[in-house]
Amino acid sequence: MRNIQIMPMEKEDLEDIIAVERAVFPDPWSQTMFAEQLELPEIYSLITARMDDRVAGYGGLLRIRDEGHITNLAVHPEAQSQGLGKSLVYFLFLLALKESVKSMTLEVRTTNTRAQELYSQFGLEPIALRKNYYGYEEDALVMTIEDISVASYQRRLADIQKSLKCHIQDSLNLAS
């Protein structure tokens, strides 16, 4: 079982974040895009996952009133298939609940069935297709869940926590 530390993203992490971004996405976000989100903590929550004292993944949450939107999520290819993505999504949902978010939405590449399966575990369901969202030939599937504040969803998150493959050091102090 790997040790993972989940913590808030810091400006000092940006070079490592960009390295992960470039290793994962054909159209990576710029360092400026992440820096601008870090400057708006009232609406963005950005987290990193560290393995062996290096950034191995990250995730972002945009909050508007009681709606949450997962803006970006990536795990370095060398750290994939170890439960890190699931751990990041879990903590983004905990952050959302802490901020009184009720519904969650995201876009995922229609070709990324692994990510779609992961998001389905969290109750996100496809509701729409965004044509050419990732460029001229790449569509996005919009996935959502309406109410994560209900008791039945809390039980789902508790079950997900039990299924995590990693020992997690929670620097955000969110997990019970």
Residue 176 has pLDDT above 60, yes or no: no
pLDDT of amino acid 174: 60
What is the mean pLDDT of the segment spanning 106-115? 94
Say how far apart CA 79 and CA 165 lie, in whole Å.
13
Fold of 3-170: Aminopeptidase (3.40.630)
pLDDT of amino acid 166: 62
Domain layout of the chain by residue ranges: 3-170
Residue 175 has pLDDT above 80, yes or no: no
Residue 135 has pLDDT above 80, yes or no: no
What pTM was estimated for this model as a whole?
0.91
Residue 134 has pLDDT above 90, yes or no: no
**Catalytic site positions:** 107, 119
Q: Give the 3-state secondary structure of 92-140.
A: HHHHHHHCCCCEEEEEEECCCHHHHHHHHHCCCEEEEEECCCCCCCCCE
* Predicted confidence band of residue 170 (pLDDT cuts 50, 70, 90): low
Q: What is the pLDDT of residues 39-72, one digit of tens each?
A: 999 999 999 999 888 899 999 999 999 999 999 9
- Nearest residue to 9 via CA among 141, 156, 172: 172
pLDDT of amino acid 169: 62
- Nearest residue to 114 via CA among 44, 24, 52, 22: 24
Report the chain's mean pLDDT, rounded to a whole number: 90
pLDDT of amino acid 86: 93
Say how far apart CA 139 and CA 147 lie, in whole Å.
26
